């Protein structure tokens, strides 16, 4: 996916902390009730966190990269399960 860094920054979430807070809320909702929409939202927030404007520290940069990989993996696993006809309630972790 080719996204420009200026497309990732969200002025409504001006700091990495704001993005992380949003991502935490989505993650908790996903943990309670996994669904494709929440997984996609979490992946989008993770990608957003990779914008240079949010690179407040090396830790934020590394965590952002790891979160993108984790949520992309979850999306791929959900797509594989959907394609093979398995229930979305199967464990993904």
Write out pLDDT tens, residues 16-71.
999 999 999 999 999 999 999 999 999 999 999 999 999 999 999 999 999 999 99
Q: What pLDDT score was predicted for residue 7?
A: 74
CA gap 43, 27 in Å, rounded: 10
Taking residue 64's Cβ as centre, other Cβ atoms within 10 Å add up to 24
Which CB contacts under 8 angstroms, 24+ apart, belong to 21-25? 23/49, 23/67
pTM: 0.79
Distance CA 58, CA 40 (A): 25
């Amino acid at each position: 996916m080719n996204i420009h860094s200026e497309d990732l920054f969200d002025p409504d979430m001006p700091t990495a902390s704001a993005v992380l807070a949003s991502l935490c809320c989505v993650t908790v909702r996903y943990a309670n009730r996994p669904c494709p929409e929440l997984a996609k939202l979490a992946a989008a927030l993770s990608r957003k966190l990779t914008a240079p404007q949010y690179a407040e520290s090396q830790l934020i940069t590394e965590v952002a990269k790891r979160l993108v990989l984790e949520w992309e993996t979850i999306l791929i696993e959900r797509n594989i399960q959907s394609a093979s006809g398995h229930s979305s309630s199967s464990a993904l972790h």
